[in-house]
Amino acid sequence: MPAAATVLTDRGRATRDRIVAAAATLIHERGVAGTSLDDVRAVTATSKSQLYHYFTDKSALVRAVIELQVDQVLTAQQPELGGATSMAGLRRWRDRLIALNEQDARGCPLGRLASELTDSDPAARAALTAGFARWQGRLATGLETMRGDGALGPGADPQALALGLLAAVQGGLLLAQATGSVAPLRTALDLALDSVEARTVPLAATRTPAGVDG
């Protein structure tokens, strides 16, 4: 019986993951309001009792979707996000984001969720806020490294700069989505990166070779 239970657990996890992945795709295409639990059941060929076994209600499924999207969005930016510990590293991260969104112009799944979820579902909003905080935290870590290295001046605020960069990403993607061109993302990121560069110490780490700062 323990072996069977373990098999069931693995199968259970696989089923749960399959449901969350399918729900993420539907929600990214149709929005939360446009996606019913019946839609998710139809796509995943699961029964009502199976679905409710894993998720007590739609909000629980939406939270699982948000957690998956946060992981996927952050993973897609690696290794550049982790390597954004210099101006050159930040520019590689910018290039990575532009390349990702040239392939898929549907915008950031987190940004789309943020637009839709605010008032309706406090638990989902908290999950989304935590996701944005993780993203901001990764950027702030790189900027703190830059300040520690002396590349950023002591007056630079890594958390504020990280929040400003994240806002540039989200606003740039939103306008990219509206216009069908990645150009607004590039312009928004370049403007925000100029502000970071304005806080660098002259003759500092902005000109180190690419391999040194990773």
Is residue 169 near its own copies by the rule CB under 8 A? yes
Contact 143, 156 (CB under 8 A): yes
Contact 175, 188 (CB under 8 A): yes
CA 201 to each of CA 68, 118, 166, 214: distance values in angstroms, whole numbers, following the listed order: 38, 39, 23, 19
Using the minimum distance from each CB to its own copies, give the nearer residue, 10 or 197: 197
Using the minimum distance from each CB to its own copies, give the nearer residue, 46 or 90: 90
Give the range of 24-32, 49-57, 83-91, 205-213 binding its own copies by CB under 8 A: 24-32
Using the minimum distance from each CB to its own copies, give the nearer residue, 89 or 107: 107
- Tell me the three state secondary structure of residue 200: strand
Phi/psi for 32 (5° steps) reads -65, -45
Give the range of 10-18, 57-65, 128-136, 201-209 binding its own copies by CB under 8 A: 128-136
Chain centroid, CA 103 distance in Å:
16
Is residue 160 near its own copies by the rule CB under 8 A? yes
Chain centroid, CA 199 distance in Å:
26
Choice from 10, 14, 195, 210 touching its own copies (CB under 8 A): 195
Contact 147, 201 (CB under 8 A): no
SS (H, E, C) 26-69: HHHHHCCCCCCHHHHHHHHCCCHHHHHHHCCCHHHHHHHHHHHH
Distance, first Cα to last Cα, the chain? 49
Choice from 114, 143, 146, 152 touching its own copies (CB under 8 A): 114
Choice from 180, 202, 209, 211 touching its own copies (CB under 8 A): 180
Whole-number minimum distance, CB 134 to its own copies, in Å? 13
Count of residues engaged in binding its own copies, rule: CB under 8 A? 47
Question: Locate tokens 């989505």: which residue?
Answer: 177
Using the minimum distance from each CB to its own copies, give the nearer residue, 154 or 180: 180
Interface residues toward its own copies, by CB under 8 A: 29-31, 33-34, 106-107, 111-112, 114-116, 118-119, 125, 128-129, 132, 160-161, 163-172, 174-175, 177-180, 183-185, 187-188, 190-192, 194-195, 198
